[in-house]
A = this chain, B = another copy of it.
Amino acid sequence: METELNRRGARPALVALDWGTSSLRAFLMDAAGAVVAERASSQGLRHLPQPGHAGFTQALSAIAGDWLRDGPRLPLVACGMVGSAQGWREAPYVGCPADVTTLAAHAARVDDALGRPLWIAPGLLYAPGNEPPDVMRGEEIQIAGALARQPQWARRACLVLPGTHSKWAWVEDGRVTTFRTAMTGEVYAVLRQHSLLGQLMSEGESEPAVAAAAFNQGVERARASRPGDLTHELFAVRTLGLTGRLPGPALADYLSGLLIGHEIVSALAQPGMAAPDEMPLLLVGEAALSRRYAQALAAFGRAPAAELGNTAPQGLWRFAGAAGLIGAAA
């Protein structure tokens, strides 16, 4: 699927891949960091045409073979699970604090990816004292892209990346100093698809106003919650349906508000979050989900300073620049 074709005349300077578990996106970029063309495929790590090196090569050829043939000296970079232990080549996690220069210094190299090296960005590890460690892989590049696009926030900000495993990352002087994961999206999905809670969620969508009210009701319930309350509060998704207090389709919105609300309650209690003026929040990611988070954050009086969309291409371009690859293409 070719989704974007702007600046077709621009001279390509980089092929950049965002290669995750369930999808692969490829970006053709020019020397100024603009996206010339963009493609997406479902050939993530779980759906490669065959296992191992040959499978990765085949998937790469299918999505960007023509770009790479037309530009035999074009550099090639990637981020995401392609650098995990189950990926093409492992790029072990690097510790915080870290910025894009740190990522470039610890990149892993696939020697022959359609006749050229492929540089893969490592993930980040945050392992404070006795607490369980936290990890990210892919989001570190989105963060680099967000800071490239909005350098005014690089001195001090909290970046929120909603998703299957939402990340909250704290940045100081351009480097990620700490971060934490909340499994919001995955918990939502498994409860909806595999638990009793999904049973009463009739198909179809609510009226927008009904959906928004149910979502807000879930957020408010989370806002008032005390330690340990979540597994109790989840049961309300069932009882509000059973007793007819919420219509079937709105139960999914309530569940979403409850889980996103819990994620926000927990994150806003982190050090440095008490003073909104000193810690702007930046939302990074897909538009529809970002809007939900913006709505929930507003209920906490913490409207985000910006919503940035997908910043992976800009992050990959910065990563390639830090690795000294952009000049090499000219």
Q: Is A50 an interface residue (CB 8 A)?
A: no
Return chain B residues, CB-CB under 8 Å to A259: 231
Supposing A135-B242, A181-B235 touch, asked if A228 and B194 sit within 8 A by C-beta, the answer is no
**B229 x A266 contact (CB < 8 A):** yes
CB-CB < 8 A to A263: which residues of B?
228, 231-232
Contact assessment for B269 and A182 in the assembled complex, using a CB-CB cutoff below 8 Å: no
For A227, give its contact among B135, B181, B227 (CB under 8 Å).
B227
- Residues A232 and B180 in contact in the complex (CB < 8 Å), given A135-B239, A227-B227, A266-B226: yes
Those of A107-154 within 8 Å (CB) of chain B: 127, 132-135
Nearest CB of B to A207, in Å? 21
Chain B binder among A7-15, A66-74, A184-192: A184-192
**Does A3 belong to the interface (CB within 8 Å)?**
no
Q: Does A213 have its Cβ within 8 Å of any Cβ on chain B? A: no
- Copies of this chain held together in the complex: 2
Chain B residue with Cβ nearest A196: B186
Taking residues whose C-beta sits less than 8 angstroms from the other chain, chain A's interface range is 35 or more
* A residues 261-279 touching B (CB-CB < 8 Å): 261-267, 269
- Chain B residue nearest to A233 (CB atoms) is B132
- The answer to whether A235 touches B190, judged by C-beta atoms less than 8 angstroms apart, is no
Q: Is the CB of B222 within 8 A of A228?
A: yes
Option from B134, B182, B228 in Cβ contact (under 8 Å) with A225: B228
What is the bound-complex CA distance between A234 and B166, given in angstroms?
12
Q: Which of A180, A195, A261 gathers the greatest number of chain B CB atoms within 10 Å?
A: A195
Which residues of chain B are near A235, meaning CB under 8 Å?
132, 134, 165, 181-183
Q: CA A229 – CA B261 in complex, angstroms?
A: 11
Cβ of A193 < 8 Å from any Cβ of B?
yes
A186, A191, A235 interface centre (most CB from chain B within 10 Å): A235
State how many angstroms separate the Cβ of A246 from the closest Cβ of chain B: 9
Inter-chain contact A269/B190, CB cutoff 8 Å: no
A228 — which chain B residues lie within 8 A by C-beta? 222, 225, 230, 261-267, 269
11 inter-chain pairs at a CB distance below 8 angstroms, sorted by A residue, are A132-B239, A133-B242, A133-B245, A180-B232, A183-B195, A190-B195, A225-B228, A228-B263, A230-B230, A230-B262, A231-B262
Besides A135-B242, A232-B266, 14 other A-B contacts (C-beta < 8 A) = A133-B245, A134-B239, A180-B232, A181-B232, A187-B234, A193-B194, A194-B194, A222-B228, A226-B227, A227-B227, A227-B265, A228-B262, A228-B264, A228-B265
